[in-house]
Amino acid sequence: MTLFFDPFEPLVSQVARTRGFVPATDVAVSDGDLVLTMDVPGLIQEDLSIELLDGYLLVRGERRKPQAIGNANLTHRERAYGAFERRIKVPEGIDADAITASLDNGVLSLIVPKPERLKPKAITIGAGAGTQRRQLETAAT
Neighbouring-strand partners of residue 60: 49, 85
Which fold does the domain 9-66+73-118 belong to in CATH? Immunoglobulin-like (2.60.40)
Confidence of residue 132 (pLDDT cuts 50, 70, 90): low
Mean pLDDT over the full length of the chain: 80
Confidence of residue 134 (pLDDT cuts 50, 70, 90): low
Mean pLDDT of 10-19: 51
pLDDT attached to residue 74? 75
Rounded-to-integer distance, Cα 104 and Cα 41, Å: 10
pLDDT attached to residue 127? 72
Strand ranges (DSSP E) for the chain? 25-29, 33-39, 48-53, 56-63, 82-89, 100-104, 107-113
Query: Domain residue spans in the chain?
Result: 9-66+73-118
pLDDT attached to residue 38? 96
Among 72, 85, 71, residue whose Cα is nearest residue 38: 85
**Amino acid letter, 8:** F
Mean pLDDT of 78-97: 89
